[in-house]
Amino acid sequence: MVWKKSDDLPNSHNPEPTPMSPPRPAAPAPAQSAETPRRTTDRATIGPSIFIKGDLTGDEDLVIEGRVEGKVDLKQNNVTVGTNGRVRADVFGRVVTIEGEVDGNVFAQEQAILRQSGAIRGNITAPRVILEDGSRFKGSIDMEPKGEMAGRHSSNGKEQQQGQGKPGGEAAPAPSRVASA
C-alpha cells in the first residue's frame, strides 16, 4: 500500500493549521517600542571597513568599529569605541566606553570606561572614571564637577579656609578618586 496524505484522517488531539487559517496577530512589540525612549533602542554602528574624516553628531548611541578622524559629538548618548575601533578625535558622550584606541580627549557627562583592551592617549574629563586592569592610558583625568571647580577657585581664597591650602598660598592637590576595576 502506498501512503498518501489524503489517506490520513486529521488527528483530533493535535490539529494541524490549515493554509486558510488567518495569520496570528503579531506580538505588541511595536506598541511597546513606541512607549520606550528612542535612544535606548537606536544605535548606529561604524563598521570595521569604514573610515570617516570629519565631525560626527547625532541623536542615537554610536558604536565605532572602524576609523574616525575629527570630532565625535554625541553628548546626550552613549559612545563605544569597539575593539577594532581607531579614533583620532575628541569624543563627547554621556557614557563613553573605550575598548579600542583613542588618540584624543574623552569628555563623558556621566562616566568614562577604559576597558582592558583599550588605550587612550589624551585627557579624560568625567565625574566617574573606570580604568580596567591592563588598559593603557597616557594623559590626565579630571573628575571634578564644573560647579565644584568654580566654588573652590574663587578670588577670595576660600580654598584655604576649607582646609585645602598649604602654607605659602599654594593649594594642596585634590586626592585622587580614580578607581581600577
By three-state DSSP, how is residue 35 classified?
Answer: helix
* Model pLDDT, residue 30: 44
pLDDT > 50? residue 175: no
pLDDT for position 148? 54
Q: Does 176 or 62 have the greater pLDDT score?
A: 62
Q: Record the cell numbers describing residue 153, joined without a space.
A: 577657585
Question: Between 27 and 4, where is the model more confident?
Answer: 4
What radius of gyration, in Å, describes the C-alpha atoms of the chain? Answer: 27
The one-letter amino acid code at 169 reads G
Contact 79, 57 (CB under 8 A): no
C-alpha grid cell for residue 100? 579600542
Euclidean distance between CA atoms 115 and 121, whole angstroms:
14
Lowest average pLDDT, out of 8-17, 31-40, 42-51, 112-121, goes to 31-40
- Residue 153, pLDDT above cutoff 70: no
- Are 170 and 153 spatial neighbours (Cβ–Cβ below 8 Å)? no
* Amino acid 144: pLDDT: 83
- Return phi, psi of residue 131, to 5°: -115, 110
Please write the tens of the pLDDT for every residue from 90-149.
999 999 999 999 999 999 999 999 999 999 999 999 999 999 999 999 999 999 876 554
pLDDT band at 155 (very low <50, low <70, confident <90, very high): very low
Mean pLDDT of the chain: 76
